[in-house]
Chain A
């Protein structure tokens, strides 16, 4: 990300310099911080609301119910390769991610990753690859920050994107899982 940032800033300034339009860029550069503050203010309400809702759900035991529901399908998905501790951590991480509680998800994910790589070696196991791909293709059920932004932007129907986003998310996760299984199969043969 560091490289991308430097590239954007430098190429922007250089390109504008070549076209003699540095004034606009200077203005834009100084506006960035103010805009960020405005953006955070418009996000804050949504963040607090969803943070509160999720905590109430957590206190009502919804996450542990989700963990129970996920346990069996996940065991099947990882084709029984996981030990008990790793499976628990994987399940809890994914349940927290589905609800968007990233504070709770990250420590669980780290525990899962550690438990899955105990056999040593420098390369991640098939199970760890699958776990990371599932995590990296997003499993969040409700895109809370997107909703906060859409409300702030004055959308006529902010919630219109929930279902499409869920379908796209499911498609990307599904493809990720299939590709992982294919990669492992190919490796098994070769």
Chain B
């Protein structure tokens, strides 16, 4: 699919007479920049995730998370991602990489976590940026509605990768 995307991109580029080399280089530069830019945030969040997990507190929290997991019909291992995804993009990226390493990218947990990550956004950050730019301090029903959407998306990924 990615190979196809690449072929189509190049064909469309040639057809529209775009300077493909120039544009691709420019985009790659931005990608490189983005990757370096998130490094400090990844370092902090990965440290926090590692400390949290290695302390064994996660197992102690299981009784709290498992009702929500069974309500949404999701594997237990993705629950931290359900909670973290709406809060922070870099933290959830760190967490996803942890999940993929621990459970394997092709396990049910790994598949659900990946699809989930791709179907969500950093709800709180998005709202904060746009509302404060517009000089608005109230958010009315935006956050609860977006969270409801997120949980629905999570439940849907669970259904799409049945046990």
Q: Which residues of A contact B (CB under 8 A)?
A: 1, 4-5, 8-9, 11-13, 15-16, 19, 21, 24-25, 27-29, 31-33, 35-37, 39-40, 42-44, 46-62, 103, 106, 109-110, 112-114, 116-117, 121-124, 128-129, 131-133, 135-138, 140, 142-143, 145-147, 149-150, 152-162, 164-169, 171-173, 175-176, 179-180, 183
Contact = CB atoms under 8 A, between A and B. Distances in A.
Given A37-B39, A183-B145, A5 B45 contact: yes
Given A25-B55, A51-B31, A149-B96, A167 B156 contact: yes
Interface string B112-150: 001111111111111101110111111111100110111
B81 to A, nearest CB: 11
A164 B161 contact: yes
A25 B105 contact: no
18 contacts: A1-B88, A12-B51, A12-B54, A13-B55, A32-B48, A43-B35, A49-B31, A51-B30, A53-B24, A55-B24, A109-B129, A121-B136, A123-B136, A137-B150, A149-B96, A152-B97, A154-B105, A183-B141
A162 B118 CA distance: 8
B62 interface: no
A31 to B, nearest CB: 6
Nearest to A18: B55
B55 A21 contact: yes
A8 B91 CA distance: 12
B46 interface: yes
A154 B135 CA distance: 45
Contacts of B44: 5, 32
Contacts of B146: 132-133, 136-137, 176
A32 B31 CA distance: 23
Q: Is the interface of A mostly helix, strand, loop or mixed?
A: helix
Contact of B140 (A35, A129, A146): A129
A8 B49 CA distance: 7
Contacts of A31: 50
A92 to B, nearest CB: 14
